[in-house]
Amino acid sequence: MAARELPDRNGPSGAPELEVHLVPMRRRHLRSVLRIEAQVYPRPWSLSLFLSELSLRTSRAYVVARVDGVVVGYAGLMFSGDDGHVTTIAVDPMWHRAKIGTRLLAELARLALDRGCRNLTLEVRVSNVGAQALYERFGFAPAGIRKNYYVETNEDALVMWNEHIDQPAFSARLASIEAEVPGTTVRSEGME
């Protein structure tokens, strides 16, 4: 499955008092998710693909970020043995630079840790240096190239890994990143 990454378009920044709610993605969120999907990806996932992913509850976790009840971003994770694979992460262009992507990636990391994962991996377009910088901040490191991975744009993917997320050093890094995010992040009870 192709990993999705943060688009690197600019948008207005969020206010410091921003309250972002992270909740499990449900069918009722898909209209908003598909709207964002169509804005940020050259070949958006279909409704049926999202429904299929949501039905795989034992091996997948999908979350949405909401501000004032409006879906402003979403992310997904696939579990495979000791590894968590980031399948998608996207933020509404109007909410770029508001740390929504940071919150979503932190949530995926927490979900991976809760499920006993030791490593995280993802693919990102080689041209998307903004997303790569975010991933590097979380400790992801380049591990290889997948040639022509994004066939719709004939672009290669950079494969990135974050090994040993189960170690205290990663927990400290994660806590530091979360502490730097302005405003409040509220995790849904269903996320734990």
Spell out the domains of the chain, with CATH numbers in brackets: 19-191 (3.40.630.30)
pLDDT for the residue 190:
53
Radius of gyration of the chain (CA): 15
pLDDT for the residue 121:
98
What proportion of the chain, given as a percentage, has pLDDT over 70? 90
pTM, entire model: 0.89
> Is the predicted pLDDT of residue 6 greater than 80, yes or no?
no
Alpha-carbon span 35 to 185, nearest angstrom: 23
Mean pLDDT of 3-20: 54
pLDDT for the residue 141:
98
Lowest mean pLDDT among 60-64, 147-151, 185-189: 185-189
Q: Is residue 150 flagged as an active site residue?
A: no
Query: Which candidate in 123, 136, 150, 178 is catalytic?
Result: 123
pLDDT, one tens digit per residue, over 152-186 is: 889 999 999 999 999 999 999 999 999 999 999 99
CB 30 within 8 A of CB 62: no
CB 94 within 8 A of CB 13: no
> Is the predicted pLDDT of residue 39 greater than 60, yes or no?
yes
Q: Is residue 41 flagged as an active site residue?
A: no
Neighbours of 57 (CB within 10 A): 10
Mean pLDDT of 84-91: 97
> Is the predicted pLDDT of residue 10 greater than 60, yes or no?
no
Alpha-carbon span 79 to 101, nearest angstrom: 20
Query: Which candidate in 41, 62, 135, 150 is catalytic?
Result: 135
> Is the predicted pLDDT of residue 12 greater than 70, yes or no?
no
